[in-house]
Amino acid sequence: MWREILAKFKRYPAQEKVVRLVLERGFQVNERGRVVSGGIDIPHAQIAKELDVDRRVVDTTATAIVEDEELWKIFKNVRSMTFLADVAPVVGLGVIEITPVDASQTGLLGEVASAVAGYGLSIRQAVSDDPFFVEQPKLTIITEAKIPGELVRLLMDINGVRRVTVY
């Protein structure tokens, strides 16, 4: 699906950069052609500055999204979420970061979740990077408590796991 979205902008590399940023950040485009997060407008000049493009590129991209029915259905419904990975250690939660051998392998999340549950830990959050947007995608699991060393060894034995990092 992401390839089809980006294909609509392939002749306009600066607009493609805008589309990528909007998707990666979980921003929406509202009916007025404004980039927003919920009800908060994200200044197009700020987006342009971050991407090193002209503000008019952001304006044009947002307008193109509103005018394309297929794109509009997607971009008006994108949502961001709270990602607990950075704050988890501060509040006493555990963080497991799994680097897969192949991000397209099926069943990895299920096996990791089963292993974590086997140690009696509740999963508070599981976030998998989209391999289309991230060159080295990871699966991040936030648990209710710190991660025991024995669990790390068990996770390393799961087929398809390249690396396990615990915070």
Q: Note the pLDDT of residue 83.
A: 94
CATH 3.30.70.260 domain locations along the chain: 88-166
Q: Note the pLDDT of residue 156.
A: 97
- Radius of gyration of the chain measured on its C-alpha atoms: 19
Tens-place pLDDT, residues 109-167? 999 999 999 999 999 999 999 887 788 999 999 999 999 999 999 999 999 999 999 99
Task: Please determine, looking at this structure, whether the domain spanning 88-166 carries the CATH number 3.30.70.260.
Answer: yes
